[in-house]
Amino acid sequence: MAIARKPPVNTHGPIAWMRQNLFSSLANSIISLVTIILLLWAGVGLVRWIFFEAVWGQVWINLKLFAVYRYPADLLWRPLSIAALIMLLLGLTAGGSSPSGGEIIRGVFWWVLSLVIGLNLIALITWESVRWWWTLVSVASLVGFVLGRAQPRLLRTLPWLWGASLPIGLLLLIGVAPEGGLRSVDTREWGGFMLTLILSGVGIGVSFPLGIALALGRRSQLPAIKYFSIGFIEIVRGAPLITWLFIASLMVPLIFNISPDRIGALQRALVAITLFSAAYMAENVRGGLQAVAKGQSEAARALGLSGWQTMRLIVLPQALRAVIPAIVGQAIGLFKDTSLVFIVGLFDFFNIQNIVANQPGSLQVPGGIRLELSLFLALVYWFFAFRMSVASRQLEKQLGVGIR
């Protein structure tokens, strides 16, 4: 029996790797060298700009504005305790998920936690008023994770906890008392990254049931319901979100026949975002419903389940499982698209840059600080969107394997 030999050409080591991947032919070698030189040149330029030429001071002193806009400084503990609650739940989910299936959510958790801990360290050093509240967020995350590890049973209550966190959070932000620490805060004072998260969270959260209803309506055999759903979905998807935001700000006061001052820009934006998101959600869910084999509902009906039971117990769970990656994708899209609320005069994370850029301190910087602002915004949006899209791809892969 012949003994396996090593191949005559070395296929290991950095040199072989470079030969295969960079210098496999003359043309490739030239391309590689030119691009390496260009990349080095661009990299050096970028590093020099970031560390020596850029003026980051204006971004640094405006971080509170970027985070919460005009939310009262003495009430910052409220958004921070909501952050703690959400991180607690995220930690619970990550810790409690099964060793194999939870890899994806754990990846997201560590990613976000690294940011939280980083901010916590900064808070401990310089942000005196909120340093312990930031510590609470970090601690809550870790507690959630450990608790989830120890008591995976808690996982079953998680959907309810997540669902409850939305109204609880909003209530805490709005405030309940006329005065004191729990005094109410006008939504006009809301903004910054907090607003971006509220818009995307409420948008996805509320549009989820609406989208399912619309998807079922579109597949209904009753023409009235079917055509209403189709009409709604197609008209809403026909025009871009920014136009719906504008239309909502024009039309909502008219539709309810109230004076425009009595309904805030936030509420109007939420109406537009939710309905818009619901139309897209409906199409995603419909894709999932179509993916469920017809035999499934036939088997369920044959077992004597009612139509509603079949839908709720057999078809929907399978359909929704199949569309999780698409819904995550939609959430990423919505997270990015909340930047369009500038059109109704809201100051979300994106729109804060226009305030900062026009501050006297920024105008004094020669050439302005638009470049710094753009980079900062892009980095923050990217930090979340990129990690989510990685998770979405992992989910797709995992579900794909699971189905086959």
Partner 1 sequence: MATRTTSYKDSSERIPFYRNVKTIGILAQIIFAVAVIAGAFIIYRNVATALTRSSLPADFSFLDSRAGIPIAETPIRYNPNDNYLKAFTIGVLNTLKVALVGVLLTSLLGVFIGVMRLSNNWILRQIATVYVETIRNTPLAVQIVFWFTAVLTPLPPRSLNPIELPGGALLSNLGLAIPWTYPSYSFSAWLPWLIVALLLFVLVFGFRRRQILLSERPGNPWLPAFIVALLVAGAGYFIAAGGSSLPTNIASEVRATSGVATVFIDANQNGRKDNDEAIVPFAAAEVSLSQGFLEAQTQELTESRQIIYSTFRFPPIKEKEFAQAQVSFVDPEASQGLSIYFENFPSEGVVYRDLNGNGSFDRGEETNTSGTRVSGYSAKLRLEVTDFKRRIVADRNGQIRIPRFSAEPAAEQESAGANISPAQLFAVPAPSEEALQLEVNIDLKESAPLVMSYPSIPIGPYFGGISLSTNYLALLLALIIYTASFIAEIVRAGIQAVPKGQTEAAKALGLSGYQIFSLIVFPQALRIILPPMISQYLNLTKNSSLAPLAAYAELFAISIIIANQTGASVPVTIMIILAYLIISLTFALVLNIVNARIALVER
Partner 2 sequence: MVVTAGSTRADAPAGGDKIIEIADLNKWYGDFHVLKDINASVNKGEVVVVIGPSGSGKSTLIRCINRLEEHQEGKIVVDGVELTDDVRKIDQIRRETGMVFQSFNLFPHLTVMENITLAPIRVRKWKKSKAEERAMYFLEKVGIPEQARKYPGQLSGGQQQRVAIARALTMEPKVMLFDEPTSALDPEVIGEVLEVMVNLAKEGMTMVVVTHEMGFAREVGDRVIFMDQGQIVEVGTPEHFFSNPQEERTRSFLSKIL
Q: Which of 92, 87, 172, 73 is nearest to 137 (CA)?
A: 87
**Residue 320 lies near partner 1 (rule: CB under 8 A):** no
* Closest separation in Å from C-beta 29 to partner 2: 18
Q: What is the 3-state secondary structure (H, E, C) of 52-79?
A: HHCCCHHHHHCHHHHHHCCCCHHHCHHH
Among partner 1, partner 2, none, what binds residue 110 when CB lies within 5 to 8 Å by partner kind?
none
CA-based nearest residue to 194, from 349, 61, 337, 72 = 349
Report which secondary-structure segment, H or E, holds 392. helix 370-403
296 contact choice in partner 1, partner 2, none (CB below 5 to 8 Å, kind-dependent): none
Interface residue with partner 2 among 6, 153, 156, 404 (CB under 8 A) is 6
Asked if 14 is part of the footprint of partner 1 (rule: CB under 8 A), the reply reads: no
For residue 2, state whether it binds partner 2 (rule: CB under 8 A): yes
- Residue 27 engages partner 2 in binding (rule: CB under 8 A): no
When CB distances are held under 5 to 8 angstroms depending on the partner's kind, the choice from partner 1, partner 2, none that residue 5 binds is: partner 2
For the CB of residue 324, give the shortest distance to partner 1 in the complex, in Å: 19
Closest CA to 87 of 143, 44, 36: 143
210 binds partner 1 (CB under 8 A): no
| Host H or E run for residue 353 | helix 349-357
Residue 1 binds to partner 2 (criterion: CB under 8 A): yes
Q: Calculate the CA 297 to chain-centre distance.
A: 33
Print burial letters for 215-242: b (CB count within 10 Å at least 16), e (below 16): bbbbbeeeeebeeebeebbeebeeeebb
- Applying CB under 8 A, the span of 3-11, 146-154, 246-254, 382-390 interacting with partner 2 comes to 3-11
H runs (alpha helix) in 256-314: 265-291, 294-302, 307-309
| Cα–Cα distance for residue pair 81/187, rounded to 1 Å | 18
Q: Is position 25 an interface residue for partner 2 (rule: CB under 8 A)?
A: no
26 binds partner 2 (CB under 8 A): no
Task: Note whether 60 binds partner 1 by CB under 8 A.
Answer: no
Among 52, 51, 57, 46, which Cα is nearest to 364's? 57
| Only segment of 8-16, 43-51, 74-82, 189-197 that touches partner 2 (CB under 8 A) | 8-16
Tokens of residue 317, six digits:
């769970």
Query: Which C-beta is closer to partner 1: that of 107 or that of 152?
Result: 107
Residue 302 in contact with partner 1, rule: CB under 8 A: no
Q: How far apart are CA 377 and CA 375, in angstroms?
A: 5
Kindly tell me which residue out of 8, 99, 238, 366 binds partner 2, with binding defined by CB under 8 A: 8
Cβ-based nearer residue to partner 1, 122 or 242: 242
**How many amino acids of this chain bind partner 2 (CB under 8 A)?**
11
Q: Does residue 177 interact with partner 1 by CB under 8 A? A: no
Query: Which residues in this chain contact partner 2 in the complex, by CB under 8 A?
Result: 1-9, 11-12
